[in-house]
Structure 1
């Protein structure tokens, strides 16, 4: 608690110095309680693959503070913003829980500094950088938010907008067979690696009616110390996002390709925010195809969905035995389908159904698979699919078709009933 107080005081002091009362407080939270048949407590199983509704068992919170600084005479067309966020998560099972409070964001953004392009923004610090996610599965398919960095956003180039960023991505590696590198100074034999991410985006490309294309390229590399040999190859992740606006919603198709650790992350549901520095993923390649969106059917029904196929080749992964550090190298593929229809009884009350299924195959280890069916009665501040806060009472039935996560035998299943809340503001 002392650490949280210090962080809160520092953030508040920095943001309130210029103009008291001008801070925009924003954030996100989720929490819930429940019980299950086999496990007793509230359970969560593969939510990124079969859906998060009635399938989350944590308490997570983000506290955001954003302030636009006062204008200075002669620079009225500029906008300077200080943006900060504290994030914390734990199980939520007790009245007083210890947990790590992370300064997830603390940065400065300046818009209007380039006379010929007043919409361009320069920024530096630590931030959630242009993250792309699918809400119903809480899956971030593109998220390079790592350490501190900086860049430029929304620079007008041709028909679209260019953004470029450089962020730190420190990691660790093991020396070969645990033996220090011969002749290297002691400080060069530590496992810390200076990792870096270059992220380039080009957005706003209009294709046809209500259709836009966004392209992203991410390059992750390590900067070697003197006499230090980095075992991991550099990695590249390429993304194309085609969004089609519809009269009743939107549909988005995502194509991704990765090499090295980013290749292994395709089937492992990585987002680009971390990188395996061990060198075990040097031969890996992978791709991912996603289609998702939200559509309304009349005034009463809205439906969200996720369809995904991902595959990685020559990837290194655990052998699937609990507690084992033995690695297997081979191909890894994943198929996932989730659909969430909802019926609106009035402006506040909804009935929500979520159905999900996934199948996952590996070379050299047992496959995985499972499904989920959840029904929830919900009350929200508005009747939109995205309306929050939302209070829910749910019942879920979950199957683990290949493993023993939900019990002691393969093909096990479990039920879960409980309450949830989710809010953003």
Structure 2
């Protein structure tokens, strides 16, 4: 046995023996009781560590197989000292000289557990995981309070003034006969970076937000013929497809309640289905009143279709429908129209773990209107929780996003969008709006090592909207210089990341939204630091 294996065995042996003692005793203990007893055993083992090491070295010379050593050590650890006193004053449960094979903690290849493996065993036994995401930082500007503008068009890097977080709690409640049931809750929101007192609900600017975006029950093993498929019920939705550098979702679903199944192995890919509810407040035509309207959506995904050169394809469809309760004659409310969103995604792996996605989308009515949003260009059925405007028409867009290594030291990422449509509704130009938009963000960096990168992000966009004879144009650009402290070299896939940046943001035309910065100027310089991570 080499030195590394010896160290691993010494570290893992006391904890492993403690657990085997508990299991051998045959008591129906709870998880908390087992952990408390485990801590007691570990404290006792630390007091006798030197004696254990000496005995272990002797047994290594004598034992014919690795399995004999733990049994002898277990017997030694359960002896009192010369005065008859047991460590911690607690006499341990009796342990048989030879443990039954089915009670030994070991790996499939019959070796002792390492500390990390033991840690995973305990987590699996508890059945609880905690994961999440957060983004936070500090920034200041040359002209008053820093202001984010058109991040979904010129890029988000150095152009975010928020502190977003997601906290996901996942508790397994059943695991038997190949069937699992988990309760999952996701809490997300924003903690504004402007004020030191960030109480939720105590800020008129709405910087501090909190919601439960997921509350659902997830199962596996319950769909006949598809043991790996996941079936869920509750407030949840199929995973959104995000344009990461622009911070919006190209294919998005929202849910107030839903039912879905994911990962059905049908044909060359995997099929996922969800039926979702998302009620909206329908405004009347002059926006003087609104009423609640029930809406439902069918979301269909077919993913992972294999193509040549390791490429894959996905096909997504979402159909939204309003369930009207009927309106009295002469009602001033417009009719909510059904809306379709279709997405075709082609993903090509590149050298050194790079990849690029090419996306083509088509949408109708209100989903298509979302393509015109200057920042959050999500294909939403409503505007937040509201539906207003006389929607119609259709829109299309083509998207490229990904990253590639030009050399071992140079990495470049892109987000490119071209979209167009007609007959749409815009809150700025009204109904029957035609538009075309072009957005381009390129981020390149020099890789010093796996923990440091220095680079530049440049973003530019131009969008034109026209209704009747009126045409409006919006355009601008952003340049961000940065140095990042990170773990891994990927720009889009590796976190944690801490960024130090300077950004210059300028609007060259503001004909659509009339935007200007705090001092009324068309430009802004900001300096800041931002941390982003998921776990």
Could you say which TM-score interval applies, normalised by the shorter chain?
0.7 to 0.9
> For residues 60-209 of structure 1, what are the structure 2 equivalents within 5 Å?
60-72=164-176, 75=177, 77-97=178-198, 98=200, 99-175=208-284, 191-209=291-309
- Structure 1 residues 361-385: Cα deviation after superposition (integer angstroms, max 9, x where no partner): 0112531001111011111133332
1:42–1:418: 8 Å Cα contact kept in structure 2? no
Following the alignment from structure 1 to structure 2, what is the Cα–Cα distance between the partners of residues 408 and 48?
A: 23
Q: Name whichever structure is richer in helix by fraction.
A: 2
1:212–1:243: 8 Å Cα contact kept in structure 2? yes
The answer to whether structure 1 residue 369 and structure 2 residue 479 are counterparts is: no
Aligned residues: 388
| Deviation for aligned residue 1:58 | 0.8
- Structure 1 residues 71-127: Cα deviation after superposition (integer angstroms, max 9, x where no partner): 23xx1x223222211111142212222233200111111111134221221111112
Q: Name whichever structure is richer in strand by fraction.
A: 1
Q: TM-score, normalised by structure 1?
A: 0.85
Moved more, 226-235 or 309-318: 226-235
| Deviation for aligned residue 1:358 | 0.3
Instruction: Could you tell me which runs of 5 or more consecutive residues in structure 2 were left unpaired when the two chains were aligned.
Output: 1-122, 201-207
Q: TM-score, normalised by structure 2?
A: 0.68
The answer to whether structure 1 residue 285 and structure 2 residue 385 are counterparts is: no
Moved more, 169-178 or 351-360: 169-178
> For residues 12-411 of structure 1, what are the structure 2 equivalents within 5 Å?
22-38=127-143, 40-72=144-176, 75=177, 77-97=178-198, 98=200, 99-175=208-284, 191-227=291-327, 231-248=335-352, 249-268=354-373, 270-275=377-382, 278=387, 280-319=389-428, 327=430, 329-363=432-466, 364-385=470-491, 386-403=493-510, 404-406=515-517
The answer to whether structure 1 residue 422 and structure 2 residue 529 are counterparts is: no
- Structure 1 residues 183-229: Cα deviation after superposition (integer angstroms, max 9, x where no partner): xxxxxxx6110011111111121121211111111110111115468
Following the alignment from structure 1 to structure 2, what is the Cα–Cα distance between the partners of residues 160 and 84?
A: 29
1:31–1:353 distance in 2 versus 1, CA, 3 Å: same
1:377–1:119 distance in 2 versus 1, CA, 3 Å: same
Computed over aligned residues only, the root mean square deviation of the Cα atoms, in angstroms, reads: 2.4
1:106–1:255 distance in 2 versus 1, CA, 3 Å: same
1:233–1:279: 8 Å Cα contact kept in structure 2? no
Following the alignment from structure 1 to structure 2, what is the Cα–Cα distance between the partners of residues 296 and 347?
A: 14
Instruction: Could you tell me which runs of 5 or more consecutive residues in structure 1 were left unpaired when the two chains were aligned.
Output: 1-17, 181-189, 321-326
- Structure 1 residues 144-171: Cα deviation after superposition (integer angstroms, max 9, x where no partner): 0221101111112222221110111111
| Deviation for aligned residue 1:418 | 1.1
Q: Which has the larger radius of gyration?
A: 2
